[in-house]
Structure 1
């Protein structure tokens, strides 16, 4: 086998290994029961697959509510928290900026986020960062953030691989959040039905009247209907009755 043929064979083997890795990741993420567990697994897979020091995931719920949903270390979590405190950083810009990713070759010299960069370089020993947006065509979910302790840890090839991670992760997040939403809706219907049954038996009213009582109490006291129903289910009567 010539040198070129050997190199081609090695590249083909590496490609097959990568494909198998992403296939396993996709299956594992699909099988996770909750959105919380899904983001934890995304962070774990990204750290192992990208061979970086730490990873973290920021999720955006509204313009004013951004949270660290997963972090593989306290350093990664602190790097996230500093961005929300200082209102600057690549992970925040990946959420809301014009670019879908931001690459920092050295936080100690990068001038785009000077306050954040100096702190993470000096205190957390984070020197390289790659932040890439998590999104589908329907919505933006957050950002996947990779951290390295040495300058120039991430290049163009790393960006290509991280983009595949982000695509799989975004789909998994979309599916898990949809599943969570359906499960919560089913749970709410169940507890409302239980509460209606309790009121029907206790006050000798029909189902329409029982639902109206729950709804009216919810509106009058500014409490979610599901929470009112849960209180009735727990106490066997309307709160305060």
Structure 2
């Protein structure tokens, strides 16, 4: 599949035919992408070209902890890491509120920390917008947009960004669900193989073999799939 964004010069207003066609194409491309990494890469590339911003990035929130997953510019990753380490900044605020955080001009900004402002100025960032990608009312990720001119994200740009954020929320939630489902299927296969080993070696029925695995999992405070994997690899129960 061609990288998302290669054919996008700029997206029209959300209500016009050109804009609608661009987002319809994006929806199809995101549907065809496999994996969470590929999904967020497609989102940032579309944002970069459709909004004609200087840089874009996606930060994923897993278990309440944010991690940088994709960015179109090393400066974005650096700004994100600074906020993650400090546990404050516009990006963190977008996760916690959760609602969009827009910075019109870094040069006149006084709300955020002096360290964040200094780093943004140092790398040539003048404006930014952080949009939480909501799943079930919570921020599952944040789409960050950066401009090298003041007020790069006016009403029209933000309207497009909000539509992109909704598409991205669905795509990322779907990709995460597929990963979780694949992991669950893989775990069931491992447990089934481990049960087969126990049944053959100790002449156990399926229920008893599963109970043995579960007991060792609980006693060793380890995940059932990890116990099963060790049994498959070593032909020995943990401990």
Q: Is the 8 A contact 2:104 2:151 kept in 1?
A: yes
Q: How many angstroms apart in 1 are the aligned matches of 2:237 and 2:87?
A: 45
Aligned length: 226
Q: CA deviation at 1:72?
A: 1.4
Q: Is the 8 A contact 1:134 1:143 kept in 2?
A: yes
Aligned to 1:5: none
Q: Is the 8 A contact 1:52 1:148 kept in 2?
A: yes
Question: Which digits, 9 at most, give the CA deviation of each residue in 1:60-101, with x for residues without a partner?
Answer: 2234x1111211121110010111223332111111126x21
Q: How many angstroms apart in 1 are the aligned matches of 2:173 and 2:33?
A: 12
Q: How many angstroms apart in 1 are the aligned matches of 2:226 and 2:95?
A: 32
Q: CA deviation at 1:138?
A: 4.6
Q: CA deviation at 1:142?
A: 2.1
Please, which runs of 5 or more residues in structure 1 have no aligned partner? Answer: 1-10
* Secondary structure of 2:131 counterpart: strand
* Secondary structure of 1:57 counterpart: strand
The structure whose Rg is larger is 1
Question: Which digits, 9 at most, give the CA deviation of each residue in 1:163-198, with x for residues without a partner?
Answer: 000000011112111222211111111110011001
Q: Aligned-pair RMSD on alpha carbons? A: 1.9
Q: Which moved more, 1:219-228 or 1:31-40?
A: 31-40
Equivalent positions of 1:170-185 (< 5 A) are: 170-185=169-184
Aligned to 1:239: 238
Aligned to 1:33: 34
Q: CA deviation at 1:152?
A: 2.0
Aligned to 1:199: 198
TM-score (norm 2): 0.88
Matched, 1:219 2:228: no
Aligned to 1:67: 67
Question: Which digits, 9 at most, give the CA deviation of each residue in 1:99-134, with x for residues without a partner?
Answer: x21111211221111321122112x21111011111
* Secondary structure of 2:108 counterpart: coil
Q: How many angstroms apart in 2 are the aligned matches of 1:163 and 1:30?
A: 19
Task: Compare the two structures and name the one with the higher helix fraction.
Answer: 1
* Secondary structure of 1:108 counterpart: helix
Aligned to 2:91: 91
Question: Which digits, 9 at most, give the CA deviation of each residue in 1:35-75, with x for residues without a partner?
Answer: 22211211111111111111111222234x11112111211
TM-score (norm 1): 0.87
